[in-house]
Chains A and B, each alone.
Chain A
């Protein structure tokens, strides 16, 4: 099956710093979602982004499906950004999400 790899696995930042999280996938996909799992365990939808670029406040994401990767940008990071960021993909006609193992982000004051 498809492999979804996220990097880096861990990231520590000071408040105000910028960061880029990467998601690579081993085969063609038809959909990609980014999630933030906050310290209380809740999974929050960030982006539905099968292709192209989207922005939402300090966060933006770009998916280049032909090159099999997606990037999540976090600018001016805040402590509330801490948690684990997951990307997940679907293939073909399936709606089954395949998740990467996540990037754990810690933002220190």
Chain B
């Protein structure tokens, strides 16, 4: 079955280290998204991509970067991890429904702890 996967599912890292979270989807969706979830804030958009070589900043993009070299993958990189980036990270991709509208589906999440 087509799906969206994230790895690792859990990660502990130290302040200042570079960390990359992987997201892979087999639906051949053009549109992919990264969100973070924190208590009291719900889910907030970090970066998104509408296709290969396309990347855009979301609401909380500082300290994060993405690259899109193929349709299936959108890795999220924390250039220099900070304690404020301790969070649960969700990747999503969107499926075209109708009338120009899309429905997003989410991966299982990655719990990142920065010590």
Tally of B interface residues using CB under 8 Å = 28
If the complex has contacts A41-B88, A45-B103, A101-B41, are A96 and B33 also in contact, measured as CB distance less than 8 A? Answer: yes
Q: Would you call A95 and B42 a contact (CB within 8 A)?
A: no
If the complex has contacts A41-B88, A41-B109, A42-B109, are A97 and B42 also in contact, measured as CB distance less than 8 A? Answer: no
Closest 5 CB pairs of A and B: A43-B106, A48-B103, A99-B43, A99-B42, A101-B42
Binds A, one of B13-21, B64-72, B77-85, B94-102: B94-102
Within 8 A of B (CB), among A77-109: 86, 88, 90, 93, 95-102
Q: Would you call B104 and A97 a contact (CB within 8 A)?
A: yes
How many of chain A's residues touch chain B, expressed as a range?
A: 20 to 34
If the complex has contacts A41-B88, A101-B40, are A31 and B109 also in contact, measured as CB distance less than 8 A? Answer: no
Could you name 18 residue pairs across A and B whose Cβ atoms are closer than 8 Å? A30-B100, A30-B101, A41-B108, A41-B111, A42-B109, A43-B90, A45-B106, A86-B42, A86-B43, A88-B104, A95-B33, A97-B33, A97-B45, A98-B45, A99-B44, A100-B42, A101-B40, A101-B41
Rounded to whole angstroms, the CA-CA distance of A57 and B13 in the bound complex is 43
In this complex, what residue of A is CB-closest to B48? A96
For A31, give its contact among B40, B101, B108, B111 (CB under 8 Å): B101
Q: Interface majority SS on B: helix, strand, loop or mixed?
A: strand
